[in-house]
């Protein structure tokens, strides 16, 4: 197997023809936020701007698809990675970007807590009725099927999850089954090592990440 050797990266900041981050292309709210993060953390605006574009893409998953041509569409997913030396204030930048999502998640779950508890009880009640009917001498299979469908159709039974950090492929499958989409955002690269086989004997498991890019169906047995 041919060995790939990487050369020493050339710092972009020392390159005369480096293209600055197009801050003016962002909508006013995002432009102001990226600029403010840059100022308060003393970092290049491209750090906040790049991560922010990926984070905002989460808000449109499941709502829109990009049509490059008539027979091919993709979700508005943007994978990005920020490479910087230690102590370059990556964590403070990512904290500011992640904060609105964490705040909304906490607020939503708190405001809908009673609704979630009720939905859970409704499901339990339907399941109890199904079990009782199944014990009858001649169970009404049509009625049982109807009750099962009613239970399956009850939504909002569990707290929502928006952002995930250091997560394994197996846990991500479970989270995605309970949430239509997720925002994977982290100031560290630990989750990449998880998908590269950290807990799987060094065997990479990238299928879910790759399929998420195009919004393809993923089945895990």
Q: Answer yes or no: do 164 and 141 share one domain.
A: no
pLDDT-derived band of residue 166, with 50, 70 and 90 as boundaries?
confident
pLDDT given at position 210:
78
Residue with tokens 């859970």: 120
Q: Let me know if residue 117 belongs to a domain.
A: yes
Would the CA dihedral through 193, 6, 84, 74 be positive or negative? negative
pLDDT of 15 strictly over 70: no
Query: Please, how many CA atoms are within 13 Å of residue 8, restricted to the half-sphere of its CB?
Result: 1
pLDDT given at position 203:
74
Helix axes 28-41, 90-111, angle to 10 degrees: 130
Range of the domain at 139: 113-153
Q: Is the pTM of this model over 0.85?
A: no
Domain boundary (103, 130, 153) is at 153
For the chain, the average pLDDT equals 86
Q: Answer yes or no: do 85 and 52 share one domain.
A: yes
| Distance, CA of 178 to CA of 156 (rounded, Å) | 10
Q: Let me know if residue 33 belongs to a domain.
A: yes
Give the count of domains, the chain. Answer: 2
Q: Let me know if residue 118 belongs to a domain.
A: yes
Query: pLDDT tens digit string along 105-130?
Result: 999 999 999 999 999 999 999 999 99
Domain boundary (104, 128, 153) is at 153
Q: Which residues are 189's β-sheet partners?
A: none
Domain boundary (123, 153, 183) is at 153
Q: Which has the higher per-residue pLDDT, 51 or 169? A: 51
pLDDT of 87 strictly over 90: no
Q: What percent of the chain has pLDDT over 70?
A: 95
């Amino acid at each position: 197997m041919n060995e790939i050797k990487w050369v020493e990266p050339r710092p972009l900041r020392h390159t005369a023809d480096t293209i600055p981050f197009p801050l003016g292309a962002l909508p006013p709210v995002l432009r102001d936020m990226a600029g403010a993060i840059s100022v308060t953390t003393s970092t290049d605006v491209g750090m906040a701007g790049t991560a922010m574009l990926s984070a905002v893409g989460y808000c449109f998953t499941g709502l829109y698809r990009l049509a490059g041509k008539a027979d091919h569409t993709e979700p508005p997913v943007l994978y990005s990675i920020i490479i910087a030396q230690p102590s370059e204030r990556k964590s403070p930048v990512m904290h500011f970007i992640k904060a609105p999502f964490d705040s909304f998640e906490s607020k939503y779950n708190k405001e809908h807590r009673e609704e979630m508890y009720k939905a859970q009880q409704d499901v339990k009640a339907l399941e109890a009725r199904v079990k009782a009917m199944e014990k009858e001498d001649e169970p009404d299979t049509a009625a049982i099927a109807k009750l099962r469908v009613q239970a399956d159709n009850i939504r909002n039974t569990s707290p929502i999850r928006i952002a995930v950090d250091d997560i394994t492929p197996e846990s991500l499958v479970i989270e995605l089954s309970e949430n239509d989409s997720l925002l994977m955002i982290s100031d560290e690269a630990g989750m990449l090592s998880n998908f590269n086989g950290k807990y799987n004997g060094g065997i990479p498991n990238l299928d879910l990440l790759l399929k998420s890019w195009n919004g393809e169906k993923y089945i895990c047995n």
